[in-house]
Amino acid sequence: MAEKILAKDQLDQFLGKLAEGREVFAPQDVEGKVAWAPLEAAADLLWDFSNSDMSPKDYFFPQTECMMRFVNKADDEMGMIMQAEPELNTPRALINMRPCDAKAFQVLDLIFMQDEMTDDFYWRDKREKSLLVGLACNDPCPTCFCTSVGCGPHHETGLDVLLVDLGDKLLVKAVSDKAAELLAELPEAEQADLDQAAELKKAAEDMVEANVGVATDQLEGREVMELYEAALWPRVAESCLNCGTCTYCCPTCHCFDIQDEVQGDEGRRVRNWDNCMSWLFTVHGTGHNPRGSKTHRVRQRFMHKFKYIPDKRGGEIGCVGCGRCVQLCPVNIDVRSVVNDMNA
Amino acid sequence: MRNTYIPYPVRIKETQVETEDKMLKSFWLEFLNADDAKAFDYTPGQFAELSVSGYGEIPIGIASSPTEGEDLLFTVNKVGHVTNRLHNMRAGDVMGVRGPLGNSYPLEEMKGKNIVIVAGGFAVTTLRSTMNWLLHPDHRGDYGDIDFVYGARTPGMLLYTDEWSQWQKRDDVKVHITVDQEFPGWDGLVGFGVDIVKQIKPQPDNAVALICGPPIMIRFTWPVFEELGWTTEQVILSLENRMKCGIGICGRCNVGGEYVCKDGPVFTKAELDKLPAEY
Amino acid sequence: MEAIAQGIREAAKKLLSQGAVDCVIGFAQGTVPMRDYPYFAYTPEEADNLTWSRFCCNNLSNFLVRREMGEAGKVAIVAQGCVSRNIVGLIKENQITREQVHIIGVASPGMVDRGKVQALFPLKTITEVTEDGEDLVVKGKDFEERVPTKKVLRQNCYTCVQRNPVIVDEMIGEESEATHGGNIDKVAAPWEKLMPEERWEAFSESIKDCIRCYACRDACPLCYCHVCFVDEARPQWCGKTQDEADVATFHILRAFHCAGRCTDCGACESACPVGIKMRGFTSKIEKDIRELYGYAPGMDLEEEPPLSVYKPNDPQEFIK
C-alpha cells in the first residue's frame, strides 16, 4: 500500500476509528514522566519526546500476571485444579511506539513463541490482539544506539503502522495489513512528503551513528568460553549493585518467576518479572548457586543479550539500543562500553 | 492453542517412602482425564513440573517408563517448599503434572550399541525409566550389552530395590549395586560407583555411557572413562538447575545459551565442555 | 571542586604507590550527564580517573561490604559526612574494622538531584551538565542554561547536619559549614500533620511507581543482609507481586530496618529509576529516634545504638 498522509488536526477522527473495538494506549506526560497510559484525546499525544521512561513490554508481559486460578478446597469437586485465566477481552492499539520498542517485541516473539511446546499463551494472546502504531524518531538521544544493533530510528520491524512526523501532518506507512481498513480513507502522500520523510530518516540515522555505538562483529566468531572467561567481567561487576533496574527498564529482558498465592478459598498462580541480577534467581534448594557471585550475574546479562541469544536465534541480538539502561543504571554501567570491551 | 502452563490434573494413587532417612518418597500418579494421559507422550530422560496448588511447581525427572502404562512415577527429595508439602500429601490427593518437558536420552541413537549406566544416589530416577525401557521385550533386542552400576551411601538409601533385584536375575543385563562401605547384612558390592567402573572396565567401542549423580561423582567418574579410551561424545549426562517455566523462556536454568529445561536436561559431556559450568 | 578532585587523585596515587592500600574507592566521570560512578583504582595510573563533583550520588561505604575483588585487603575510600557516618555504622555493626579502611575525607558540596534538573526542562534531552562555580551549565540540543546549583540539590543535602566527615585518616580541602541550613524535621513532619488514613493515602501515592528493582536497597550501606527479608522464601514474608500490599510491605519493612541506622545519605533516592522519595519514610523514623533517644546514627564510634541495647530508662510511652 502506498504511503498515506494524516493531518494532525484530523487525529481525533483517526483515533476515534482506532478506538472502535480497541483500547488505545500511548506515551503521555504523566506528572512529568513520559509513561504509557490509556489515551483519552489526540491532544494528549506527545510529539517531542525521546521515549517512555519504561519500556511498554508490560502490555504483553505484565510485571505481575495471574496465569491461572484454583479453588483452595481439597473437598471441592474442582478443588486444587488449576483453571486458565480468561484471554484478553478487548483488543488494543498502542500508538506512538518507538521503533526500538517494537523491534524488541519481534525479538521476544522468537523467545516466547518457539514451537508447539514453547508457545507462551499469555504473550501470544496479547500480541495477536494488539495493533502497534509506531512513531519514527526524528531526534534520537545521545544514549540511543539502535543502528548498531540492527534497528534504527525509522525501523519498521514489529510494527503494523509507522508514522513519521512531518510537522503538522504525519506520513503513514502500513507495515502489515492489520490496519489496512483504518488507513484506507486517508489521502495518499505526495512525493514531497516522501522526500521529507526520507530526509528525516537519513538525518536521524546520522545522528544515532554519531553517538557511541556498540560493535558486535567479533562476537559470533568467538567461543562462548572465550568470552565467558574474558578479563573484563570482575571490573564490570565491581560497582554493580545487582539491582534490577537495567532488566526492568529493558524492552527485551524477559525473565520471570512463577509463584502460587492463596487467600482463603481462592488461590492463584502468578508470574512476576524476575532478573538474573538477583542471587535468588538461580539458587538451588540445596543452597548451591550456579551463579553465586556478582560477576557471574552481571556477565550473564550481557552474555545472554549479545552472545547466547544471537547464537540461538539466528543472529538476532537481544538488545535494541534504546539506551534506557544507560540512562537509569544507578552506577552508570554502560552497556556500550561493556559490549565494546567484549568485542575488542 | 493449548496453554502449556496449565498442569494436567492427576490423583496420587500410591506413595512410598523409599529411603531410611525418609527424605525420598515415590508417588504414582494417575491422570484424571484419559485424554491427558494420551497427550502426555514421554521418553525416558524427560521430566515434568509437579504442581501442588498453593505451593508451586517443582521439576522432577520421570522415573516411570512409558512401557509401564499410563501412570507416572516420580521420586521426590524433600528439600524445599513444594517438596515438603508433597511429602505430606497422600493417596487420593489431587495435584498437577505439566509436561513432558525437556529432551530425553538418545534412545534411537543408542540402538545397536553397548550401554553402560552409572547412577549415584537418587539421580537414578530417570535411569530407572531408561532401564525399564531398555529391558522391555519390545526394545531389548535393539541394544547390545547393558551394564547397570548403581551406588548409594548405605543399603537403606538404595531406591527401587524390588526392581533391580529382578534385573539381577536376568541374564541379559549386568547389574552392579554397590554401597559406600560394609554394612551388616549387606552381601553386595562395596565401594563407590567409580570403583565398580574401574573393575568392570567398560570398553568404548560401539558404546555409550549414561552417567547421573551428584557433581562430585561425575567429576571422579569421567577420568576413569577417559582412561579407558572413551570420548566426551560417548558420555551422556543429565543436568539439574533451578527452573520455573520448564519450556525455555523464563531464563533461570540457562547454562550458556542452552536452557536445561528445553535443550536439556540431557547433554553429552562434549556439549557441556563448551559451556560455562553454571549448574 | 577540581582542586578537591586533584587532591583525591594525589592522595590515592600516594597510597597506591606506597602499597598502603590495595584499592581506592572513589568516583569517576560517568558516560551520561550528572551520573559520576563508583570507581575502584588499583594502580597509581588508575587513580588518574578519580574525580569529585556534585554528581557523586552513590554512598561509597556500600562497597566496603559489597566488594568481591580483593576482599581481604585494605582499602581507601573517599568519604564526605554521610558516608563517614555509614562507615562508623558498619564498624559498630561489626561488618568492617576501622583498620581495614583508610578514609580520605572531603566536605560534601551537596549533591545534585538529577530529577530536579530534568524537571526544569520537561521532555527535553539534556546532553551535558557541567559545574561552573555555584551554577550548573545545562546543555541540550537546542538550549544552554545556567541553573543555580542550590536550586537543584538533593533534598537530603539541604537538610544535612554533617557535611564534614566524622572520622578521617586524611582530609582533602577545607572543612565546610556543618550544615546546608535546611530543617530535617520539615521533611519528616508532613506525615505528622496527616490523619492515619491520609497518611496511608500519601504513602500509597508515593510508592505507586515502584518497579521493585530494589535499587534503593542495593544502593544502601545498611542493607548488607545476606538474605534480605523480601528474598526469604521460607517463610516468605513478602509477596513478589506488584499488588499494593506487597510493594508497601517492602517499603515499610525496609524503612523500619533502617531505624536508628540511616544517615539520610540519599543514595536510595538517587538510585531509584522511577523517582520514589523513600527518605520520606526513613526521615520520620529517624526523627523519632532522635526525639526518643537523643541519638543520631554514625556520629561517633563509642555511642551505643539505642535499638541494639536495653536501658532501664528507655522511653516506653509509645507502648500501648
Domain boundaries, chain C: 2-113+153-293, 114-152
How do B47-52 and B56-61 pair as beta strands?
antiparallel
Chain B touching partners, 3 or more CB pairs below 8 A:
A, C
Nearest CB among A70, A228, A304 relative to B254 is that of A304
CA–centroid distance for C187 within its chain: 16
Q: A21 near A88, Cβ under 8 Å?
A: no
Chain C interface includes A54 (CB < 8 A): yes
pLDDT-based confidence at A1, cuts 50/70/90? low
Chain A touching partners, 3 or more CB pairs below 8 A:
B, C
C-alpha to C-alpha distances, C155 to A107, C32, C161, C173, nearest whole angstrom: 41, 22, 12, 24
Nearest CB among C32, C40, C242 relative to A64 is that of C242
Q: What is the pLDDT of residue C71?
A: 59
* pLDDT above 60: residue C70: no
- Other residues' Cβ atoms within 10 Å of the Cβ of residue A190: 11
Q: Hey, what's the cell of B14? A: 500410591
- Chain A positions in Cβ-Cβ contact with residue B104 (cut-off 8 Å): none
Residues 6+ apart with CB under 8 A from C18: none
Closest CA to C111 of C150, C154, C151, C148: C154
Burial of B90 (0-12, 13-18, 19+ CB in 10 A): exposed
Contact B53/A119, CB-based, under 8 Å? no
Give the number of B-C residue pairs with CB atoms closer than 8 Å.
4
C-alpha to C-alpha distances, A213 to A151, A242, C52, nearest whole angstrom: 12, 24, 27
Point out which residues pair with C138 in neighbouring strands.
C129, C145
Q: What is the pLDDT of residue C309?
A: 87
Q: What is the pLDDT along chain B (279 residues), one digit of tens a residue?
A: 789 999 999 999 999 999 999 999 999 999 999 999 999 999 999 999 999 999 999 999 999 999 999 999 999 999 989 999 999 999 999 999 999 999 999 999 999 999 999 999 999 999 999 999 999 999 999 999 999 999 999 999 999 999 999 999 999 999 999 999 999 999 999 999 999 999 999 999 999 999 999 888 999 999 999 999 999 999 999 999 999 999 999 999 999 999 999 999 999 999 999 999 999
Fill in the DSSP letter of residue A307.
I
Burial of C316 (0-12, 13-18, 19+ CB in 10 A): exposed
Q: Which residue of B has its CA nearest to A268?
A: B54
Q: Hey, what's the cell of A194? A: 516522501
Q: Which residue of C has its CA nearest to B80?
A: C234
Contact A118/B278, CB-based, under 8 Å? no
Written as one letter, the residue type at B134 is L
- At which residue does the C-alpha cell 530508662 appear? C313
* Dist. CA B194–CA B215, nearest whole Å: 13
**ipTM above 0.90?**
yes
Burial of C76 (0-12, 13-18, 19+ CB in 10 A): buried
Fill in the DSSP letter of residue C319.
-
Fill in the DSSP letter of residue A87.
P
Q: Which residue of B has its CA nearest to C232?
A: B81
Chain B interface includes C193 (CB < 8 A): no
Q: What is the pLDDT of residue A128?
A: 96
Q: What is the pLDDT of residue C185?
A: 85
Point out which residues pair with C38 in neighbouring strands.
C27
* Dist. CA B109–CA B103, nearest whole Å: 14
Mutate to test the interface with C, among B81, B244, B250, B252 (most CBs of C within 10 A): B81
Q: Identify the three-state secondary structure at position C64.
A: helix
Contact C125/A272, CB-based, under 8 Å? no
Closest CA to C258 of C224, C301, C213, C292: C224
For A266, list phi and psi in degrees, rounded to 5: -105, 135
pLDDT-based confidence at C79, cuts 50/70/90? very high
- At which residue does the C-alpha cell 536495653 appear? C310
* Dist. CA C57–CA C215, nearest whole Å: 13
Residues 6+ apart with CB under 8 A from A227: A219, A303, A307, A342
Closest CA to C191 of C118, C56, C121, C281: C281
Point out which residues pair with A280 in neighbouring strands.
none
Contact C243/A64, CB-based, under 8 Å? yes
Nearest CB among B2, B244, B275 relative to A256 is that of B244
- Chain B positions in Cβ-Cβ contact with residue A265 (cut-off 8 Å): none
pLDDT in tens, C232-253: 888 889 999 999 999 999 999 9
Average pLDDT, chain A: 96
Contact A238/C243, CB-based, under 8 Å? no
Written as one letter, the residue type at C16 is L
Chain C interface includes B242 (CB < 8 A): no
* Dist. CA B6–CA A83, nearest whole Å: 7
Q: Where are the alpha helices (H) located in chain B, listed in sequence order?
A: 34-39, 81-87, 125-135, 161-168, 193-200, 215-227, 269-273
pLDDT in tens, A19-60: 999 999 999 999 889 999 999 999 999 999 999 999 999 999
- Other residues' Cβ atoms within 10 Å of the Cβ of residue B273: 11
Contact B257/A225, CB-based, under 8 Å? no
Rg (CA), chain C: 20
Contact A241/C274, CB-based, under 8 Å? no
Which parts of B154-263 are beta strand (E)? 174-179, 189-190, 207-212, 235-238, 254-255, 258-259
Q: What is the pLDDT of residue A2?
A: 86
Min Cα–Cα distance to chain A from B240, Å? 9
Nearest CB among A248, A272, A295 relative to C241 is that of A272
User: What angle, rounded to 10 degrees, do the helices at C279-293 and C244-257 form?
Assistant: 40
For A56, list phi and psi in degrees, rounded to 5: -80, 20
- At which residue does the C-alpha cell 512526523 appear? A165
- Report the CATH architecture of B8-101: Beta Barrel (2.40)
Is the preceding omega at residue B7 within 30 degrees of 0, hence cis?
no
Chain A interface includes C235 (CB < 8 A): no
Closest CA to C290 of C208, C184, C203: C184
- Chain B positions in Cβ-Cβ contact with residue C237 (cut-off 8 Å): none
Contact B252/A282, CB-based, under 8 Å? yes
Range of the domain at A132: 4-343
Chain C touching partners, 3 or more CB pairs below 8 A:
A, B
C-beta pairs of A26-33 under 8 Å, 24+ apart in sequence: A26/A94, A26/A95, A26/A96, A27/A51, A27/A52, A27/A56, A27/A96, A27/A97, A29/C122, A29/C123, A32/C119, A32/C122, A33/C209, A33/C274, A33/C275
- Report the CATH architecture of B114-216: 3-Layer(aba) Sandwich (3.40)
* Dist. CA A10–CA C76, nearest whole Å: 63
- At which residue does the C-alpha cell 492453542 appear? B1
Task: Give the lowest-confidence range in A34-48, A268-282, B235-249, C296-310.
Answer: C296-310
pLDDT-based confidence at C67, cuts 50/70/90? low
Written as one letter, the residue type at C126 is I
Written as one letter, the residue type at C50 is L
| DSSP one-letter string for C239-292 | --SSSHHHHHHHHHHHHHHTTTT-----HHHHH-TT---THHHHHHHHHHHHHH
* Dist. CA A80–CA A71, nearest whole Å: 6
Q: A159 near A95, Cβ under 8 Å?
A: no
Q: A297 near C68, Cβ under 8 Å?
A: no
User: A156-167 b/e with 16+ CB inside 10 Å = b?
Assistant: bbbbbbbbbbbe
Fill in the DSSP letter of residue B7.
P
Closest CA to A236 of A299, A173, A287: A299
The residue that leads in pLDDT, C149 or C191, is C149
Domain boundaries, chain B: 8-101, 114-216
Point out which residues pair with B189 in neighbouring strands.
B178
- Chain C positions in Cβ-Cβ contact with residue A293 (cut-off 8 Å): 68
Burial of B162 (0-12, 13-18, 19+ CB in 10 A): exposed
- Chain A positions in Cβ-Cβ contact with residue C117 (cut-off 8 Å): none
CA–centroid distance for A220 within its chain: 23
Q: What is the pLDDT of residue C72?
A: 60
Q: C167 near C85, Cβ under 8 Å?
A: no
Chain A interface includes C225 (CB < 8 A): no
Contact A70/B257, CB-based, under 8 Å? no
Q: Identify the three-state secondary structure at position B115.
A: strand
Min Cα–Cα distance to chain C from A253, Å? 13
Contact B79/A262, CB-based, under 8 Å? no
Q: A106 near A158, Cβ under 8 Å?
A: yes
Chain C interface includes A33 (CB < 8 A): yes
* Dist. CA A155–CA A146, nearest whole Å: 9
Nearest CB among C217, C240, C275 relative to A272 is that of C240
pLDDT in tens, A293-325: 999 999 999 999 999 999 999 999 999 999 999
Determine what percent of chain A is predicted with pLDDT higher than 70: 100
Number of structural domains found in chain A: 1
* Dist. CA C18–CA C126, nearest whole Å: 42
pLDDT in tens, A135-185: 999 999 999 999 999 999 999 999 999 999 999 999 999 999 999 889 999
Contact A270/C241, CB-based, under 8 Å? yes
For A:291-310, CB contacts with B below 8 A are 291, 296, 300, 303-304, 307-309
* Dist. CA A17–CA C245, nearest whole Å: 39
Residues 6+ apart with CB under 8 A from A242: A277, A278, A279, A294, A297, A298, C218
User: What angle, rounded to 10 degrees, do the helices at C196-207 and C244-257 form?
Assistant: 100
Q: A189 near A163, Cβ under 8 Å?
A: no
pLDDT in tens, C95-153: 999 999 999 999 999 999 999 999 999 989 999 999 999 999 999 989 999 999 999 99
For B:70-129, CB contacts with C below 8 A are 80-81
Give the number of A-C residue pairs with CB atoms closer than 8 Å.
124
pLDDT-based confidence at A258, cuts 50/70/90? very high
